[in-house]
Chain A
Amino acid sequence: MIDPAYRKKMVVVEGSYAVAHSAKVCRPNVISAYPITPQTHIVEDLSQFIADGEIPNCEYINVEAEFSAISALIGASAVGARTYSATTSQGLLLMHEALFNTSGMRLPVIMTVANRAVGAPINIWNDHQDAISQRDTGWIQLYAEDVQEACDTLPQLYKIAEDNEVMLPGMACMDGFILSHVYEPVVLLEQELTDDFLPSFQPENVLDPEDPKTFGAFAAPDTYEEFRYLQEQAMQKALPKIEAVAKEFEEVFGRYHGGLIDGYMLDDAEIIVMSMGSILGTIKNVVDEYRAKGEKIGVLKVRSFRPFPKEQICKAVKNAHAVVVLDKNISIGTNEGALFTETKSCLYNSKVRVPVIGYTVGHGGRDIPVESIAKVIEETKKVAKSGITVESQFLDLKEESL
Chain B
Amino acid sequence: MKEIRIHGRGGQGSVTAAEMLSVAAFEDGKFSQAFPAFGVERRGAPVQAFTRINNNPIRLRSQVYTPDYVIVQDATLLETVDVASGVKDDGIIIVNTTEKPESLKLNTKARVMTVDATKVAMDIIGVPIVNTVLLGAFAGATGEINVESIQHAIRARFPGKVGEKNANAIQKAYNLIRGEEA
The answer to whether residues A279 and B22 also contact, given A181-B35, A183-B33, A183-B34 and a CB cut-off of 8 A, is no
Across the interface, which residues of A come within 8 angstroms of B158, CB to CB? none
Across the interface, which residues of A come within 8 angstroms of B65, CB to CB? 369
Interface stretch of the complex, out of B52-60, B76-84, B174-182: B52-60
Count how many chain B residues have C-beta atoms less than 8 Å from C-beta atoms of the other chain. 22
Is B19 part of the binding interface, using a Cβ–Cβ cutoff of 8 Å?
yes
- Asked whether, in the complex, the Cβ of B60 is within 8 Å of the Cβ of A365, the reply is no
- Asked whether, in the complex, the Cβ of A282 is within 8 Å of the Cβ of B62, the reply is yes
Is A104 part of the binding interface, using a Cβ–Cβ cutoff of 8 Å?
no
- Asked whether, in the complex, the Cβ of B60 is within 8 Å of the Cβ of A282, the reply is yes
- Asked whether, in the complex, the Cβ of B19 is within 8 Å of the Cβ of A183, the reply is yes
Across the interface, which residues of B come within 8 angstroms of A365, CB to CB? 38
A12 to B16, CA, bound (A): 13
The answer to whether residues A12 and B26 also contact, given A282-B61, A285-B60, A370-B60 and a CB cut-off of 8 A, is yes
- Asked whether, in the complex, the Cβ of B61 is within 8 Å of the Cβ of A278, the reply is yes
CB within 8 Å of A: which B30-72 residues: 31-36, 38, 40, 56-63, 65
Across the interface, which residues of A come within 8 angstroms of B40, CB to CB? 124
- Asked whether, in the complex, the Cβ of B62 is within 8 Å of the Cβ of A12, the reply is no
- Asked whether, in the complex, the Cβ of A185 is within 8 Å of the Cβ of B38, the reply is no
Checking A146, A181, A182, A369 against B63 with a beta-carbon cut-off of 8 angstroms, the contacting residue is A369
Is B23 part of the binding interface, using a Cβ–Cβ cutoff of 8 Å?
yes
- Asked whether, in the complex, the Cβ of A281 is within 8 Å of the Cβ of B59, the reply is yes
- Asked whether, in the complex, the Cβ of A185 is within 8 Å of the Cβ of B35, the reply is no
Is A2 part of the binding interface, using a Cβ–Cβ cutoff of 8 Å?
yes
Is A163 part of the binding interface, using a Cβ–Cβ cutoff of 8 Å?
no
The answer to whether residues A181 and B32 also contact, given A278-B61, A370-B62 and a CB cut-off of 8 A, is no
CB within 8 Å of B: which A363-386 residues: 365, 367-370
Output the least CB separation between A4 and chain B (Å).
9
The answer to whether residues A182 and B59 also contact, given A12-B23, A177-B38, A369-B65 and a CB cut-off of 8 A, is no
Across the interface, which residues of B come within 8 angstroms of A38, CB to CB? 38
- Asked whether, in the complex, the Cβ of B33 is within 8 Å of the Cβ of A368, the reply is no
The answer to whether residues A367 and B33 also contact, given A2-B57, A183-B23, A184-B58 and a CB cut-off of 8 A, is no
Output the least CB separation between B1 and chain A (Å).
10
- Asked whether, in the complex, the Cβ of A185 is within 8 Å of the Cβ of B62, the reply is no
CB within 8 Å of B: which A281-300 residues: 281-282, 284-285
Is A67 part of the binding interface, using a Cβ–Cβ cutoff of 8 Å?
no
Determine the residue in chain A with the shortest Cβ distance to B32. A12
- Asked whether, in the complex, the Cβ of B35 is within 8 Å of the Cβ of A183, the reply is yes
Is A178 part of the binding interface, using a Cβ–Cβ cutoff of 8 Å?
yes
Q: Interface extent on A, as a size class? A: 20 to 34
CB within 8 Å of B: which A341-369 residues: 365, 367-369
Checking B22, B56, B61 against A183 with a beta-carbon cut-off of 8 angstroms, the contacting residue is B22
- Asked whether, in the complex, the Cβ of A281 is within 8 Å of the Cβ of B35, the reply is no
Interface mask (A157-187 → B, CB under 8 Å = 1, otherwise 0): 0000000000000000001011001111100
- Asked whether, in the complex, the Cβ of A125 is within 8 Å of the Cβ of B62, the reply is no
Is A217 part of the binding interface, using a Cβ–Cβ cutoff of 8 Å?
no
A182 to B49, CA, bound (A): 10
Determine the residue in chain B with the shortest Cβ distance to A14. B19
A284 to B56, CA, bound (A): 14
Output the least CB separation between A88 and chain B (Å).
13
Is A1 part of the binding interface, using a Cβ–Cβ cutoff of 8 Å?
yes
Output the least CB separation between B36 and chain A (Å).
6
A12 to B56, CA, bound (A): 15
A285 to B18, CA, bound (A): 23
A279 to B26, CA, bound (A): 23
Is A10 part of the binding interface, using a Cβ–Cβ cutoff of 8 Å?
yes
Across the interface, which residues of A come within 8 angstroms of B38, CB to CB? 38, 124-125, 177, 181, 365
Checking A2, A10, A182 against B34 with a beta-carbon cut-off of 8 angstroms, the contacting residue is A182
A201 to B62, CA, bound (A): 39
Interface mask (A176-204 → B, CB under 8 Å = 1, otherwise 0): 01100111110000000000000000000
Determine the residue in chain A with the shortest Cβ distance to B38. A177
Checking A146, A177, A185 against B26 with a beta-carbon cut-off of 8 angstroms, the contacting residue is A185
Determine the residue in chain A with the shortest Cβ distance to B59. A281
- Asked whether, in the complex, the Cβ of A184 is within 8 Å of the Cβ of B62, the reply is no
- Asked whether, in the complex, the Cβ of A284 is within 8 Å of the Cβ of B59, the reply is yes
**5 A-B pairs with least C-beta separation:** A281-B59, A177-B38, A183-B34, A12-B23, A182-B35
**What residues of chain A have their CB less than 8 Å away from a CB belonging to chain B?**
1-2, 10, 12, 14, 38, 124-125, 146, 175, 177-178, 181-185, 278-282, 284-285, 365, 367-370
22 cross-chain CB contacts under 8 A:
A10-B26, A12-B22, A12-B23, A12-B32, A124-B40, A125-B38, A146-B59, A175-B61, A177-B35, A181-B35, A181-B38, A182-B35, A183-B22, A183-B35, A184-B33, A184-B58, A185-B32, A278-B61, A282-B60, A284-B59, A365-B38, A369-B63
Give 4 A-B pairs besides A12-B32, A281-B58 with Cβ atoms closer than 8 angstroms: A14-B19, A184-B33, A282-B59, A369-B63
